[in-house]
Amino acid sequence: METSVIGPAKPDRIMWFSMWFLASMITFGLAFFPMFYRSIERRNQHFKLQSEMEKRVMELSANKAGEQTIGGNQPLERNGELWTVSIILVIPAFVILYLLSADLMSHEKNQQDFLKRTLPEMEYQTQRISLGFYVLITVATLGFGGIYWLYKVVNFYNNHFREHRIIDYEVRSLTGAFSHGESM
């Protein structure tokens, strides 16, 4: 049995905001801690897997084309435990929402640039996240808009992970054809 060039597929987990929000209401906010922790950890895991996939694709394309393509900068890994504990102070919760949003935008831009350079056949649309709008609505509602922002962040990541499954499938099929000597 032959293994894929870019390793086994490990899909990102989808997170259901409604379940976590309901659990937070029932537990008087305690479920927000594991919700934030899980959001940060799934972000870290996804960015790590994306970086590994980019390295494998670049190695394969360098072996076939005789040149090395340099990948984009990935956002730094965030410490899930430290950031989760800090939400007890409330303000860091908004900082975490901002960083999760900004990191996803940066990651999607890097991913789009990488795909344009290495696999120009693939089409990829980045999501539009209006950070100014979410900050404004959070401030205007004295923090309650943060719940809506959290809802949107969870959905942005879920949509990105769904899109990434399609991209991963396409990359696997293209690199599989590439590794077997077919032209792309």
How far is the C-alpha of 62 from the C-alpha of 86, rounded, in Å?
43
Residue with tokens 């479920």, as numbered in its chain: 31
With respect to residue 62, please indicate whether it lies within any of the assigned structural domains: yes
Residues listed for the chain = 184
With respect to residue 58, please indicate whether it lies within any of the assigned structural domains: yes
With respect to residue 7, please indicate whether it lies within any of the assigned structural domains: no
With respect to residue 3, please indicate whether it lies within any of the assigned structural domains: no
pLDDT, one tens digit per residue, over 13-62 is: 788 898 998 999 899 888 888 988 998 899 889 888 888 888 888 777 76
pLDDT band for position 11 (50/70/90)?
Answer: low
With respect to residue 123, please indicate whether it lies within any of the assigned structural domains: yes
With respect to residue 184, please indicate whether it lies within any of the assigned structural domains: no
Residue with tokens 């922002």, as numbered in its chain: 149
Percent of the chain whose predicted confidence (pLDDT) is above 70: 82
Domain containing 84 equals 17-179
pTM: 0.73
